[in-house]
Amino acid sequence: MKVEVISLQIIFHIDLNAFFASAEISQNPDLEGKPIVVCRESRRSIITTASYEARKYGIHSAMPLFQAKELCPQLITVPPHFQLYKTLSQQFFELISSFSKKLEVASIDECYVDMTEYIQHQHIHPYQAAKDIQNHVFKTLKLQCSIGVAPNKFLAKMASDMKKPMGITMITNRNFKEKLWHLPVGDMHGIGKKTVPKLQQMGIYTIGDLAKYENYEKIRTIFQKNTFIVYQRANGKDFSKINYKKNELKSVGNSTTFENDSHDEEFIKSVFHSLSQEVSNRAKKRDLVSNSISITLKYTREKSKTKQTIIDQYTNDFDIIYATALLLFESIYNGENLRLVGVSLNNVVHVQDLNIQLSLFGKQGNHLSHHSQTDQFIHQFNEHFPDMKVMKASSLIEDDEIQKKYLKNNE
């Protein structure tokens, strides 16, 4: 479906559903479909997040664990793994930024993104764009998300809360009254629980009541200098901008969890190959480079190793990232079974901030200069580790015999 070029902006609010619980399920699929909560196993513990299966029993965040177990005796308790949540959160934002760089992080599991240019350039319907993002997040990270689509941030946030999990809701300038005005005033984003009784005492029970001009003077006693903003939002208007300039990434990384623990070095190196390619692609899309590369090896939930090195050039080149990852892997791997491996560019900077030549990103005039740097790095690597043979992926294509063999095997 083609979309006409319009002047209205198209804002998405994307919210990961039951994020901490979903993150645990993404690492342990056996938990899928079961009532789980994320918290320490202690009678005094307070629940951080409950899966949607647990919520069916009336369990919710901030509930004491002992009460939750009374509601659901078969409840599964999973301890929190905050580094996992941080990693998945970063990967989530990186993934969303591949659709649009105009992204504002709202919290660890939600963001606003201006999708106007993407939708106009791709000539697709906003709903389809939201569906594409939703599917991509689930396929890549095994995380569910709900998306609100609207002409401003406030309406987008309201929309994303309406269908969970995996919901997509569109609110427009034409249907916002139908979507919002019947809702209790406490459901309006930005209205705190302590404010609701005060509004109700004034006869304001719904968002529609809040939107009436005759109630403006009443609500001024509560909202004071923010009265106009609240009144405008109740009437579907929000002029706040996407603050995407504050969201400069500090690192670009990717990791994967194996279906079965493995100590097969050839398999592990092939995974590093894929991860390095993904990290390179993500960095290039955002024009980010770094001279710090690290890998992570995870043996069990309690045992992991991270190794970082500084190289003598800023890069986002796949060959250099991959060769460095292999070097680091050889330096710390002890032959034990691995459950997860990861690769990361750390302390990334925008290429313009470095004042370096854009030849790093493929300008024809400096193509040879870029490749000579890569070749020099790989040569030094192979001299240092003679038992490992590293070569550029592009050289496989240049090698006619290898190319013929590949084609023959895939006929």
φ and ψ at 375, to 5 degrees?
Answer: -60, -40
Beta-bridge mates of residue 148? 13, 169
Q: What is the amino acid identity at position 144?
A: Q
Residues 6+ apart with CB under 8 A from 110: 13, 14, 15, 16, 160
* Residue 73 CA: distances (Å) to CA of 35, 42, 52, 370, 383: 10, 15, 16, 61, 61
Cα–Cα distance for residue pair 206/234, rounded to 1 Å: 10
Contact present, 383 and 321 (Cβ < 8 Å): no
Q: How far apart are CA 109 and CA 20, in angstroms?
A: 9
User: Reduced to 3 DSSP states, what percent helix, strand and coil does the chain have, rounded to the nearest 5?
Assistant: 50, 20, 30
The Cα–Cα gap between 183 and 233 comes to 14
CA distance 388 to 161: 52
Q: Which is nearest to 294 in space by CA: 263, 258, 254, 267?
A: 254
CB of 279 within 8 A of CB of 345?
yes
User: Which sequence positions are flagged as catalytic?
Assistant: 110
Gyration radius (Cα) of the chain, Å: 25
Please give the Cα distance from 33 to 31 (Å, whole number): 6
CA 147 to centroid of chain Cα atoms:
13
How many angstroms separate the CA atoms of 389 and 386, rounded? Answer: 7
